[in-house]
Amino acid sequence: MMYIKNKVELEEIGYSVLTNLYTESEINKMSTCIKNSEQNGDSFLKTKDVFAIRQLINVIPELKTILFNKNLIDFLPDSSYFSTKAIYFDKPKESNWFVGYHQDLSIAVDQKANLKDYINWTFKKGQFGVQPPIKILQDTITIRIHLDKTDKNNGALKVIPKSHLQGIHRSKSIDWKNETEHICEIEKGGAMLMKPLILHASNRTTNNKQRRVIHLEFCNHELTNPLNWLERQEINLGQ
């Protein structure tokens, strides 16, 4: 069962910060698995500002048993949830990469289909993306695992609390007279729970410190036939 305090925060304000979700040993194992991967193919993106791995568990399956530990599983609402997306982000020490305020509206699916309420189709790096019915986004939980200590100087996420309660909307709708951003600083081995619909952003790195994050998404909804989740992974402890 997800801890009550974190569950309330997630639902009411759209995010919650966790500490010590993983041990130093588990973080080191994750880092080693990623470092030793072949790092080629469409799932890998490498520029001077960011290194990313899409379909992370499909590409590096040995990460699964480390990521899906008891602590993580205990934070999910119930056993009906499964993993739907896994991405690794590495913002290097010298990175000038930043991301403006946005919502996470796209899911990865196995094919394209003409279906009601599935809109804004994309096809990138051999992967279909689509904006699904809003109920799927509302019930999705994102867990961002931090392999490094992250603060305002090396790209910690900024969020607009409670913005997930307003449905799908643009960053232009932020009324800065009535809204205040919050910076989510996370310790190494900690994580951030968040709703995909919360408006969030990140700044450039200014302190010459690396920021590595594993971004996981979980949901309990099946998609409309014939669509399937591209990266679906069951999360039974001990798999």
Of 59-63, 166-170, 212-216, the poorest mean pLDDT is in: 166-170
What's the alpha-carbon Rg for the chain, to the nearest Å? 17
Q: Which residue range is the domain that position 214 belongs to?
A: 4-102+137-219
pLDDT for 48 equals 66
Has residue 10 got a pLDDT over 50? yes
Has residue 123 got a pLDDT over 70? yes
Helix or strand run (H / E) with residue 137 = helix 134-138
In a domain, 169, yes or no: yes
Q: Look up residue 147 and give its amino acid.
A: L
In a domain, 164, yes or no: yes
Pairing of strands 44-46, 200-202: unpaired
In a domain, 231, yes or no: no
Has residue 88 got a pLDDT over 90? yes
In a domain, 193, yes or no: yes
- CA-CA distance, 224 to 4, in Å (whole number)? 32
Has residue 47 got a pLDDT over 80? no
Q: Retrieve residue 40's tokens.
A: 């080629």
pLDDT for 1 equals 44
- Domain CATH code at residue 13: 2.60.120.620
Upstream peptide bond of 196 is cis (omega within 30 degrees of 0): no
Q: Give, as one character, the DSSP assignment of residue 26.
A: H
189-89-99-144 Cα dihedral, nearest 10 degrees: -40
| Domain count within the chain | 1
In a domain, 163, yes or no: yes
Among candidate residues 149, 38, 4, 138, the one with its CA nearest the CA of residue 91: 149
Predicted TM-score of the model (pTM) = 0.93
Q: How far is CA 229 from CA 143, 209, 235, in A?
A: 18, 35, 15
- CA-CA distance, 9 to 197, in Å (whole number)? 15
49 pLDDT tier (thresholds 50, 70, 90): low
In a domain, 81, yes or no: yes
Mean pLDDT of 56-78: 92
**Cα 74 to chain centroid, rounded:** 18
**Strand, helix or coil at 4?**
helix
210 pLDDT tier (thresholds 50, 70, 90): confident
Of 38-42, 204-208, 212-216, the poorest mean pLDDT is in: 38-42
pLDDT in tens, 131-169: 999 999 999 999 999 999 999 998 899 999 999 999 998
Task: Let me know: does 223 contact 71? Beta carbons within 8 Å.
Answer: no
Close Cβ partners of 49 (under 8 Å, ≥ 6 residues apart) = 91, 92, 95, 96, 97
Measured over the CA atoms of residue 196, residue 131, residue 47 and residue 232, the dihedral's sign is positive
- CA-CA distance, 46 to 39, in Å (whole number)? 9
In a domain, 22, yes or no: yes
In a domain, 42, yes or no: yes
